[in-house]
A and B are shown apart, each in its own frame.
Chain A
Amino acid sequence: MKQIDKYPHKPKPIKPDMQQNTKAGGGFTDHLKAYRDQHAQSLFSSLGRLFSTPFTSTMTIGVLALAIALASGFYLVVINLQQLTTGLEASNQISLFLRDEISEAHANKYADNIRKNPNVRNVKVITKKQAMAEFKGFSGFGDAIDVLEKNPLPIVIEVLPKDSLVGKGALTKLFEDFKKSTEVDFAQMDMAWVERLQSIVSTARLGALLLAVLLGLAVFFIAGNTIRLEIHNRRQEIIIAKLVGATNSFIQRPFLYTGFWIGFLSGVSAWFIVTFIMLILRQSVENLSGLYAGAFHFLFFSYGETVILLAISSTLAVFGSWLVLYIQVKQLRPE
């Protein structure tokens, strides 16, 4: 292919100082400044690049934001549930219904014994009479019960375990021990369901952790794949840069910044998604929490959690990008 070119300028003579010098001009501080400028330039030009392809960027960031929102939203739900069970822990109480033949004196002696147990905070004996009075007032069967010849109610010992036992196997062990003693007909842990709830919450917490790990890996791989496509699109540019002496780290830099922005913007989007959903949920949950005497405050992301969320999102995306860059930029050779 022949090109017609009007070439109006004749080449100018070269001054000797134009050539010969292969060392970069300027001192060390100039280089440092240039290096810093390069970083700043990459930081903003990579953001500019993302905005210049709004459709692709939105898709990528959307997918990442949903993954991050899912993981962090589940985390917030667990945190809130945990708060719910914490409020209930204090009312753990064990009721021991004594066998019918046990006398009041015997019951008091037994109660004294229980008091010596270091795991017990408080013990209260409810005699047959007290129990009957309580039952009459409570059930409304007062007259009917008067007909009975014999008081059918057992003596009850209410045991309040130490708070420190809550949530640990020790509480169950204490309960089992009471069950086994000869005086006890049957024992009941009033708040056994609290422990059950707690174990549900801790299972959910484990689930949230595993989910976060999986979705974190997804962020890692999606970011890596996005960068892989970006490398592919800018193949020619990379090769030319290599031909004129670019190091691998120089080539990788703008891509790493792209990875950072993808992760960071996804984290920010996820924050808004989760906060929005939580605002919707708050009303109904707070109605429910009225049942717990207002001890419940709906938790959103704290400042610290927000920082951590953004840091983890950006870091994962940067690492995913870095891995792909490390492997692919090395492989891209001229020709």
Chain B
Amino acid sequence: MLKFENVYKRYTETGDVLKNVSFHLRQGEIAFLTGHSGAGKSTVLKLIALMERATRGDIVLDGQKLSAIKERHVPYIRRKMGFIYQDYKLLPDRTVFDNVALPLVIAGYGHQEVSRRVRAALDKVGLLSKEKKFPLALSGGEQQRVGIARAVVNKPPMIIADEPTGNLDPELSAEIMALFEQFQKVGVTILIASHDISLIQKMNHRVLRLDHGQLVAS
């Protein structure tokens, strides 16, 4: 599903942030991406999201080489992935419903299909009753679940999360993880960047460890 082959990322200011990173995630696999602050976790995710391009090496997503994707096709690649962020990245002036609907509206779904899918996704994260609320009226855990609903509403084959539990207490973090495992059961590939060691240890999933841009464990 996702393959990194000898990937390098160099910034002119900071030098090589990723050095010779290679790994392969199979479909339906959950993996944690961990490492110290500044190790390059977010950079790996940005490369997958095509927010940045690799300096060297190949990234293959669902059989497509990302280096070959033209800038104007990037949006269509992004629709194959659901992104989840530590800071949720919700639109404060839109309701929960509209926030979750955004990927579907962008992809050009009809009205009824949008309603049906948004409700299904909100139901899954247990927020159906809050669809008319605005994000700032929700707790952090609820906002994160809105973010998750938005990430899965388009039924992407892959979910990518950057510190999804960074702002949540252990109990809530465990609940979010339980949600991810449910998505995994239906074949979604999930990559989670996190330095929450205790959480990672509690769960029995593959761990990719980065150290100063190099993959030291996979």
Contacts and interface: CB of A to CB of B under 8 A. Distances in A.
Contacts of B140: 1, 3, 5
B103 interface: yes
Interface residues of A, number: 44
B183 interface: yes
A26 B109 contact: yes
B152 to A, nearest CB: 8
Contacts of A242: 75, 78
A21 B178 CA distance: 22
A11 B111 CA distance: 26
Interface residues of B, number: 53
B108 A245 contact: no
Interface in B128-146: 139-142
Interface stretch (B10-18, B29-37, B154-162, B200-208): B154-162
21 contacts: A5-B139, A5-B172, A7-B141, A9-B126, A11-B179, A12-B123, A12-B124, A14-B182, A24-B108, A24-B109, A25-B109, A26-B109, A33-B110, A37-B110, A240-B89, A244-B78, A244-B154, A245-B75, A245-B154, A334-B51, A335-B46
Interface of A: 1-5, 7-14, 16, 18-22, 24-26, 30-31, 33-35, 37-38, 236-237, 240-248, 250, 333-335
Interface of B: 46, 49, 51, 72, 75-76, 78-80, 83, 89-91, 102-103, 105-111, 113, 120, 123-127, 139-142, 150, 152, 154-157, 167-169, 171-172, 175, 178-179, 182-183, 185-188
Q: Which 6 A-B pairs have the closest CB atoms?
A: A9-B126, A3-B140, A5-B141, A245-B79, A19-B186, A245-B78
Given A3-B167, A19-B188, A245-B76, 5 more contacts: A12-B123, A20-B157, A22-B154, A34-B108, A248-B72
